[in-house]
Structure 1
Amino acid sequence: MISKITVKGAVQGVGYRPFILKKATEYGLQGFVRNIGAAVDILVKGDEETILKFTEMIKGEYPSGAFILNVEKCELSNEEYTKYLSSLNIQGDFEKFEIITSGEIDLPSELPVFLPDIGICPDCMSEMLDPKDRRYHYPLISCAGCGPRISILNMLPYDRDTTTMIDFEMCPECAAEYTLGRRRHAQTISCHDCGPQYILIDFTQKSYSQCNTKDITKIIRNDSTDNSLTIERAISLLRDNKIIGLKGSSGYQLVCKPNNNAASNLRHTKGREKKPFAVMFSNIKAIEEYCYVNDMEKELLESSARPIVLLNVKKAFDYEVCKDSRYIGAFLPSVGIHRLLCDAVGPLIVTSANKSDEPIIIDDDVFLTEFKGKGVDAVLVHKRKINMPQDDSVMFVAELKDGKYLSLFNRRARGYVPLPIFVKESKDNNNSVKVLAFGGDLKSTFSFGYKDKIIPSQYLGDLKDFGVNDNLKKLLASYEDIFKFKPESIVCDMHPLYESGRLAKEYSNKYNLPIFEVQHHHAHILSVMAEKSLKSCIGVSFDGTGYGTDGNIWGGEFLYCNGSEFERCGHMSYIKLCGGDNASRNAKLVKECYYNAAKNSKEVPGLVKAALDNNINVFNASSVGRLFDCVCALLGIKEENSFEGECAIALEKEAWNYLESHKEDASNGSYYKLSFEITKGDEGKYIPDQTALFTDICYALYEKNIPADELSYSFHMALSDVIVRVCEYIKENKKESKVCLSGGVFGNRLLLTNTYQKLLESGFEVFVNELVPAGDAGISVGQAYYLMLKED
């Protein structure tokens, strides 16, 4: 029997072909394996049962760092086999299994699947910690199954001379290892003798403190230093509560001990007033001293992506580290240097080296300009160039009642980018068009869409920042060059003042390409539909803001989506807000606007009432994000968002506090009940009344003296209940039982898990974002899918 097996996924740069060679030989099969750019082709000869077992093995076994997305097998007749060999210019037959020359990569015809940066594997970690190993304490150790990938890539195909490792010639021992074993074809192979080495620029020493940036950059590029002495000095500085810079695999980081003194200085250095810091630990055991860790959280922490995972606190760090958060953002070392520092010092704050809201730094000169003499005491740096900046990915696990877990993204970047989302092709759809989607402005990303794949970029930041704006242009050009991707259509948000829209229109005009606009909340739902290859659903899209088709600000939307079209079947009632962009920061102001809507003018300051009455800088909003802000301020919890979602996070924390201290009351429903009134609006839309709910909360708070934590919990339950009720109405009208939940509000675990569970219990199929964030970073995926769904 002869079979041709095509394996799609991230299979370049992880020793996949040597792995297949070994396995096929063990199974006693003849044939070959070769790279074909976007996949791997395997041809095997043998008996039917053995080939079947081999194929099943491929689906479940693969080298560390590989991502297998699809395995296709077809049988070849003798005639087809002969023609296939002839097409590859292969004469004769195969008596054993071999690795043959890679096929010519035709990138324009296919979006290739390429690997993200891969966290240090257990084998390399073991070698680095073994005093007998020649790579003992080599901080940039890697093999065919781990190390940087996309961040050092110059062009495809992935070979040493197409990465920034071209600057480092292999020593004889590494060259020998490159031809066999675990480091066969390991493009990042290096060691103390031949690889990039860390050096320490200590700004506390006169020799460096008086140097200018240009002189220090020359030192970095020309110096060769003993790693062990360099790292020992860095460890000493960290123990003394100093802040050091660290050039990692995909960007500069700032590192310090997790205590009030160091963390407070770091906040001043970064301009990061209240947002929690993530903490890196040596191993899972160290994490479990401070955090509760379930099985899925452990799996994520130890995965090759090494994301930050938001874990429930068991033992808190000093206040300045995590501030008021109920979670610790914990993660494990992704490169050897992290482990060496954590082993010596203990848990460490490791955060991106940037000023708040600006892009992570990858350039030596830029880091020195931004941080030398400005709160950073030293920097650990190596000479390997970084081509593509990437922040750490951030994830959390939502636990459902039936023991099911959902692993979800807050931020998708290092460790996952540029892995694609696979969508099912259809003859009725527009998948053959190469789509470039520009996303939104906040938490910006862009996406490529073509055939069966959508490739979203890493998280970039807020496009209002000049550096982020400029970074998007550079990164887009880099992606286009790497993937040899020439867009044929452009998609963007319909907001007339979005920077992403302006950039999209500039691009469209420059290359004379058609441009399409997609409503913000429709794109949120489409992002879930893309992940699940859905063609229709009920969409519940809750967030802070998005420009609506009626010119108002949407954010509490119930949609019926069918193909590339949508119908707005319901929405939260409109509230007139004032203050423009300030409303998203000033929860107290939002509360006063709700008081005005409830006709309680004594609680509305004169200037606010005058603005609302005279329509000065006002807008109508159905935003659930602003409703969270209002309730948070009303209950006296917090009145300002110093970072996005701060008030909503604080309100959720109060609700969790009630649930955890009143489990019996919560489970039997004996807490104070709040409920939305639903009215039928224009054109039959279902309208949950925000004003009536606000009035009920005021009554409960001031007349019934219900505690803030209980009302916080009740508010969350009321929101879950109204989602189910409106979805039931839409289901009855549209005969649709699939529900997609998306938008930044569903980053709230309590709301998400309760809504998910109640929808399931009401007979719905429920889908959420699991491959991209539910917030605005997922918008570009939805936009790309819009055009892929759109009929020609």
Structure 2
Amino acid sequence: GVAYLERTVRRLLALTGVKPEVLACDLHPRFNSTLLARKHAEEFGCQLVQVQHHYAHALSLMAEQGLEEIVAVVCDGFGYGADGKAWGGEVLYCSPAGWERLAHLEEQPMIGGDLAALYPLRMAYGMLARAGFEEAEEWLKSKAEMLPHGKQEAEVVAKMFRQNRFTATTSTGRVLDAAAAILGLCYRRTYEGEPAMKLEAAASRGRKTLNLKPEISGRILKTSNVARALVENHGRHRVEDLAYTVEEYLAEGLAELACAEAEKLGVKAVGFTGGVAFNHHIASAFRRLVEGRGFKLYVNLMVPPGDGGLSLGQAFKAGLEG
């Protein structure tokens, strides 16, 4: 917990004899790391630099590859957005000086907050309801035995959607989770990334049998249509082929957004990072599409694209600000 983190920081400071001049942390106001960074900044009388989560991912890639600017696609499960919402499917223009959100995935209901990450049927229902799928509630009730509190929970989830009692997210990870639930691959997450990993495993044995073209409107890639297409085609196509189609759809749509924005800005470098960059199929499809448009694609090679590489981006920004 926080006590262990604080002991570790103090131990390292004592061992190295370093007195910090600038500290970096996430933008989230309630993260334990943010609270600890604020405490230490006050204690040491040093500057505190807060770095938005997805910008930090992009900066880690820029620092590793020595880039001055990039249009970065940053996809993961969660990062605190500049608007206070849950982000995770972002197209950003980034330079050491700052960043701009250019495009993103469609916002989807995250009914029950973190419970929607633990039980991806909640996420799937929210996406189906957002898509205007009339049988969404009946579909959820048909899967009720997969929810901890059965039919009663399904009814509560549907009621929360009708009453707009949910947070919204642009998370790529949550879309992959929802797809895994719809396809019957995972109904409860028992370890980090489980639904998305099971979807990837199925997709590795699939091929594109469903022609689902990316729907982009106002710099937003729609994802509600994906959930609906999966439900309507479940049984007509192999699960593996539908899993492949979902991942291909996301790669195609995000590549289209990134390349279009890079062309407008005259930026030659396009990047792909965040935890979803570990997904071999999405990453390789994204590379094929971006390089096919004549752009140079940059990915993390020495630093993890997930949160394991986040501190490099934060430190890079702190070094520039300090």
* TM-score of the superposed pair, with normalisation by structure 2: 0.90
Q: Is the 8 A contact 1:528 1:768 kept in 2?
A: yes
Aligned residues: 306
Residue aligning to 1:540: 73
Residue aligning to 1:624: 172
Distance 1:564 1:542 in 2: 22
Query: Which residue of 281, 285, 288 corresponds with 1:754?
Result: 285
Query: Which residue of 529, 543, 550 corresponds with 2:62?
Result: 529
Aligned residue for 1:549, secondary structure, equals: coil
Aligned residue for 1:526, secondary structure, equals: helix
Residue aligning to 1:606: 155
* Amino acid in structure 1 at the alignment position of 2:19: K
* Amino acid in structure 2 at the alignment position of 1:624: T
Distance 2:82 2:38 in 1: 19
> Aligned pair 1:652/2:200, yes or no?
yes
CA displacement at 1:784 relative to structure 2: 1.0
CA displacement at 1:765 relative to structure 2: 1.4
Distance 1:524 1:582 in 2: 25
> Aligned pair 1:566/2:99, yes or no?
yes
Aligned residue for 1:636, secondary structure, equals: coil
Aligned residue for 2:205, secondary structure, equals: helix
Distance 1:470 1:771 in 2: 30
Residue aligning to 1:499: 32
Distance 2:118 2:265 in 1: 38
CA displacement at 1:601 relative to structure 2: 4.8
> Aligned pair 1:637/2:179, yes or no?
no
CA displacement at 1:615 relative to structure 2: 3.5
Matches within 5 A, 1:213-252: none
Query: Which residue of 127, 130, 134 corresponds with 1:594?
Result: 127
CA deviation map 1:262-284 (0-9, x unaligned): xxxxxxxxxxxxxxxxxxxxxxx
Matches within 5 A, 1:178-217: none
Aligned residue for 1:517, secondary structure, equals: strand
CA displacement at 1:774 relative to structure 2: 1.1
CA deviation map 1:462-512 (0-9, x unaligned): xxxx2xx33322322233233332211111111122111111111112112
> Aligned pair 1:517/2:78, yes or no?
no
Query: Which residue of 250, 259, 275 corresponds with 1:744?
Result: 275
Residue aligning to 1:719: 250
Residue aligning to 2:12: 479
Distance 1:719 1:748 in 2: 12
Distance 2:303 2:4 in 1: 20
CA deviation map 1:215-245 (0-9, x unaligned): xxxxxxxxxxxxxxxxxxxxxxxxxxxxxxx
Aligned residue for 2:82, secondary structure, equals: coil
Q: Is the 8 A contact 1:578 1:612 kept in 2?
A: yes
Matches within 5 A, 1:287-306: none
Q: Is the 8 A contact 2:72 2:91 kept in 1?
A: yes
Aligned residue for 2:9, secondary structure, equals: helix
Distance 1:481 1:761 in 2: 52
Distance 1:578 1:750 in 2: 28
Residue aligning to 2:151: none
Matches within 5 A, 1:699-714: 699-701=232-234, 705-714=236-245
Q: Is the 8 A contact 1:492 1:504 kept in 2?
A: yes
Residue aligning to 1:194: none
Distance 1:477 1:750 in 2: 42
Q: Is the 8 A contact 2:259 2:290 kept in 1?
A: no
Query: Which residue of 486, 490, 493 corresponds with 2:23?
Result: 490
Aligned CA-pair RMSD: 1.7
CA displacement at 1:757 relative to structure 2: 2.9
Matches within 5 A, 1:133-148: none
* Amino acid in structure 1 at the alignment position of 2:21: E
Q: Is the 8 A contact 2:109 2:123 kept in 1?
A: no
Matches within 5 A, 1:1-20: none
Q: Which has the higher contact order (CA 8 A, sep 6+)?
A: 2
Distance 2:248 2:162 in 1: 33
Residue aligning to 1:301: none
Runs (4 or more) in structure 1 with deviation over 6 Å come to: none
* TM-score of the superposed pair, with normalisation by structure 1: 0.38
Ranges in structure 2 where 5+ consecutive residues have no aligned partner: 138-153
Residue aligning to 2:148: none
Ranges in structure 1 where 5+ consecutive residues have no aligned partner: 1-465, 659-665, 681-685
CA radius of gyration, larger in: 1
Matches within 5 A, 1:28-107: none
Residue aligning to 1:690: 223
Q: Is the 8 A contact 2:59 2:96 kept in 1?
A: no
Distance 2:190 2:34 in 1: 26
Aligned residue for 2:245, secondary structure, equals: helix
More helix by share: 2
Aligned residue for 2:177, secondary structure, equals: helix
* Amino acid in structure 2 at the alignment position of 1:630: A
CA displacement at 1:625 relative to structure 2: 0.4
Q: 1:714 to 1:501 in 2, by over 3 A?
A: same
Q: Is the 8 A contact 2:53 2:80 kept in 1?
A: yes
